[in-house]
Structure 1
């Protein structure tokens, strides 16, 4: 390990990713047992860094650790599959298609209803922020700028729903948007129809038209499935 806080952080991230990815991919399958020493040899990192990574994986429900049983990989049913780390590892694994389908299903169940609720009694400043985020999509230069505006708009809709549980799903939605923005076949400019749909959501919310806001949001989400077969225009 290199010295300094930066070296520690980068080594820790590498080790966490290596072990987490190995669990998700099945290289370290359910029921696999190991030791800190064994994982130190596997990753080439220090015991302290391996322990830090194991604490995070334990909090994610992916492993258990004890003096007598060592480190044990837990069943998928215990994993926190809503955590961004687990989502990213699954997207980078053979489970990618399943993870994409699950993200779409969750978004389709939540975001249209959030848009409907957001249209009930939107505060004037909330509507203004929503319109600004939609407008920024149209003027964005490149995938990263589009992603920033896209995350803001979808986050605002969740917040405006007034449902605290919906708001807690923002990190999941962020990961879905991030995955889409970083696909290699995505154009490096804003897709006009995507922009039009987001602008229309903002206007539907502003006009208190919950049914239209929900329908538009559903269309936005459904378009992500088509992205896997080629970019939209």
Structure 2
């Protein structure tokens, strides 16, 4: 369990794994995949560079050739690398990376908060989640409408940053489910990771006023969906996404100023 304030977390990637239900690396394949993926995203192996030869990687990670081969296949499937005959395994440009992949996103966040990256995620969420909310207002069942209010209530009752984040994630999952569109639900990992990354920077639980505003904003989404008001649901969802990003951006800007003052 994660205790204390999520914003004080040392590794956002670890918290993302915990809060979004992702399974931490438990076997050799997962361990090597995480290490190599993070090394690529961090720039240790820059774009267009050639990875070390297989024998070097085998020595570094102490795994079998079969395990390494499967790891490289997985990274290739995520768009990070490609093997070329007589050249080696090349790191692909970032534009080729699958940013909708949960691991790729987590490796980005493992490098620490990046406000511009969070801004990009917020823009994508606005493009997707406001339509999910509108569809939910048109298609939700009575049980789904009730569940949304229930998750908003649990957010209001939360006393820790972790529990608040978990209930927030469940709220957005419930909206995607109520939309009745399977594609909305299939991209839930992006929403989960975006939310969790924002919470690693700043949780509204740290401020009673901010918490009350956030809960009220989610209740407006739930009410608009329950009352079958698509436009109101769109507006309310956009406000929630924008305010979450702005809260994280303000906190990170403040931290940068503090660090500059310590130098």
TM-score bucket of the superposed structures, by smaller chain: 0.7 to 0.9
Q: For residue 214 of structure 1, report the CA deviation from its aligned partner.
A: 1.0
Residue in structure 2 matched with residue 113 of structure 1 by the alignment: 131
- Give the TM-score of the pair, scaled to structure 1: 0.85
Residue in structure 1 matched with residue 48 of structure 2 by the alignment: 31
Q: For residue 51 of structure 1, report the CA deviation from its aligned partner.
A: 3.0
Classify 1:96/1:39 alpha carbon distance in 2 versus 1 (closer, same or farther; 3 Å). farther
Residue in structure 2 matched with residue 218 of structure 1 by the alignment: 238
- Matches of residues 41-190 of structure 1 in structure 2 within 5 Å? 41-43=59-61, 45-65=63-83, 68-93=86-111, 96-183=114-201, 187-188=205-206
Residue in structure 1 matched with residue 26 of structure 2 by the alignment: 9
**Following the alignment from structure 2 to structure 1, what is the Cα–Cα distance between the partners of residues 81 and 140?**
43
**Following the alignment from structure 1 to structure 2, what is the Cα–Cα distance between the partners of residues 193 and 94?**
27
**What whole-Å deviation, never above 9, does each CA across 1:77-116 have from its counterpart, x for those lacking one?**
3211101111122223489233212110101111112111
Residue in structure 2 matched with residue 229 of structure 1 by the alignment: 250
Q: For residue 43 of structure 1, report the CA deviation from its aligned partner.
A: 4.1
Consecutive unaligned residues of structure 2, counting only runs of 5 or more, are 1-24, 253-263
Q: Point out the structure with the larger helix share.
A: 2
- Give the TM-score of the pair, scaled to structure 2: 0.76
Is structure 2 residue 215 aligned with structure 1 residue 198? no
Consecutive unaligned residues of structure 1, counting only runs of 5 or more, are 1-7
Is 1:130–1:156's contact at 8 Å kept on the other side of the alignment? yes
**What whole-Å deviation, never above 9, does each CA across 1:205-231 have from its counterpart, x for those lacking one?**
111111111111111001122222139
Q: For residue 42 of structure 1, report the CA deviation from its aligned partner.
A: 4.0
Is 1:11–1:45's contact at 8 Å kept on the other side of the alignment? yes
Larger deviation, residues 214-223 vs 176-185:
176-185
**Following the alignment from structure 1 to structure 2, what is the Cα–Cα distance between the partners of residues 12 and 186?**
37
SS at match of 1:230: helix
SS at match of 1:162: coil
**Following the alignment from structure 2 to structure 1, what is the Cα–Cα distance between the partners of residues 226 and 202?**
35
The alignment's C-alpha RMSD in Å is 2.5
Residue in structure 2 matched with residue 40 of structure 1 by the alignment: 58
**What whole-Å deviation, never above 9, does each CA across 1:175-210 have from its counterpart, x for those lacking one?**
011112222665457711101111111111111111
**Following the alignment from structure 1 to structure 2, what is the Cα–Cα distance between the partners of residues 75 and 99?**
17
Larger deviation, residues 91-100 vs 103-112:
91-100
**Following the alignment from structure 2 to structure 1, what is the Cα–Cα distance between the partners of residues 108 and 179?**
29
Larger deviation, residues 182-191 vs 55-64:
182-191
Q: For residue 57 of structure 1, report the CA deviation from its aligned partner.
A: 0.8
Between the two structures, name the one with larger relative contact order (CA 8 Å, sep ≥ 6): 2
Paired positions, count: 224
